[in-house]
Amino acid sequence: MQAIIKARSEVGLELADVPRPNPGPRDVLIRVQKTGICGTDRHIYEWDAWAASRIKPPMVVGHEFVGIVADVGVGVKMVQPGDRVSGEGHIGCGYCYACRTGQSHICEKVDILGVDINGCFAPYVVLPESNIWKVDPAIPDDHACLFDPFGNAMHTVMAQPISGRQVLVVGCGSIGLMAVGILHVGGADLIIAIEPNPFKREIAKKMGADVVMEEIDPKEIKALTDRDGVDVVLEMSGNPKAIVKAFDCIRNGGDVALLGIPPGEVCITWAKQIIFRGLTIRGINGRRMYETWYQSERFLRHYPELIEPVITHRLPFDRFEDGIKAMQDGTGCKVVLDWTNAKE
């Protein structure tokens, strides 16, 4: 079958013929219909320090998908051929402390689809049955393939109360934009979105941001709020300078949820910025299995507008490089690839 692979330890991705995967006794084989290109795939394409340290080529990449079940192993009970499914790309080991206490999103030995094991940028992908998510028929394929990033946004927003609160969203890539939408329909009182790219700031307005700014201005942000700063910061940028500034915008006793991944250390004045101010800071990884998936599905059933404006490109799979280029030059946000015509 045709697949997008990381063939060698260097910049780029390519189309190649690879064998179709076979499902084990508890696995599900899925005929992939649509996939989303993630920032992670872009890191793998660009072969940055993280990718070089983690990825072992050759490897089929990609982890955001929707498809139709094509075959199941003998032990599979929950789904059957013909079912429309997406899936959780973080495969917990099932045995570590985190997994056994209902926290497999922070499994110590996680395998990630398209990172540690062959991914979904191909007409067929295999996942364990326990990671499969049957998709509600009300959710179209273009949206259902984005459960993964939408779940990141949902997990970050839902990590603290947001209804009736004033929230600063730092960074409006796909996940930041979806977070703005979830805050909007979830009843946030004030949503301030920070994003240097004017095209993405416009999408943030469409998603329900009350105020958009090119960069963080703590004075201006405090003036917009009722209690000398926002109640909640959602950090989606991974930009160390922005993170430091965001801590100047939050009221005492506020909540910070960190999803963006900085390239190195971030310098925060521990006592002054966190301890004396009584902040609650949470690191957010992946999606809660499967609480976040239930929440995401319920929101998407009611509010298709939480995803639609974020999709800027719909391309056949073999034009994936155009999609990555659009992400690199800032003219693209979420890129969806269509696999229906791929050679099987």
* CB closer to Zn ion out of 96 and 274: 96
How near is the Cβ of 151 to Zn ion at its closest, in Å? 9
User: How many residues of this chain bind Zn ion (CB under 5 A)?
Assistant: 9
Q: For Zn ion, which residue of 13, 61, 91, 107 counts as binding (CB under 5 A)?
A: 107
How near is the Cβ of 81 to Zn ion at its closest, in Å? 26
- Which one of the spans 70-78, 107-115, 120-128, 199-207 is the region binding Zn ion (CB under 5 A)? 107-115
Separation between Cα atoms, residue 1 and residue 317, nearest integer Å: 13
How near is the Cβ of 214 to Zn ion at its closest, in Å? 26
The answer to the question of residue 186 lying near Zn ion (CB under 5 A) is: no
- Which one of the spans 131-139, 142-150, 238-246, 301-309 is the region binding Zn ion (CB under 5 A)? 142-150
Q: For Zn ion, which residue of 13, 99, 126, 337 counts as binding (CB under 5 A)?
A: 99
Burial bucket for residue 323 (CB in 10 Å: 0-12, 13-18, 19+): buried
- Catalytic residue (choose from 43, 90, 143, 184): 43
Separation between Cα atoms, residue 162 and residue 158, nearest integer Å: 7
The answer to the question of residue 210 lying near Zn ion (CB under 5 A) is: no
Which residue number is nearest to Zn ion in terms of Cβ? Answer: 38
Site for Zn ion in 32-51 (CB under 5 A): 38
The answer to the question of residue 92 lying near Zn ion (CB under 5 A) is: yes
- Dihedral angle over CA of 21, 22, 25, 30, nearest 10: 60
The answer to the question of residue 68 lying near Zn ion (CB under 5 A) is: no
How near is the Cβ of 171 to Zn ion at its closest, in Å? 15
H helices present in the chain, as ranges: 39-46, 49-54, 97-100, 141-144, 147-157, 174-185, 198-207, 218-224, 240-246, 291-302, 320-329
- Dihedral angle over CA of 23, 27, 29, 34, nearest 10: -140
CA distances from 136 to 83, 110, 288, 297, 332 (A): 10, 27, 19, 7, 27
Cβ 166 vs Cβ 231: under 8 Å: yes
How near is the Cβ of 89 to Zn ion at its closest, in Å? 7
Three-state DSSP at 67 gives strand
Question: Is 43 among the residues known to form the active site?
Answer: yes
Instruction: Report which secondary-structure segment, H or E, holds 168.
Output: strand 166-170
- Which one of the spans 19-27, 147-155, 184-192, 227-235 is the region binding Zn ion (CB under 5 A)? 147-155
- Give me the active site residues, please: 40, 43
Binding site for Zn ion (CB under 5 A): 38, 64, 92-93, 96, 99, 107, 148-149
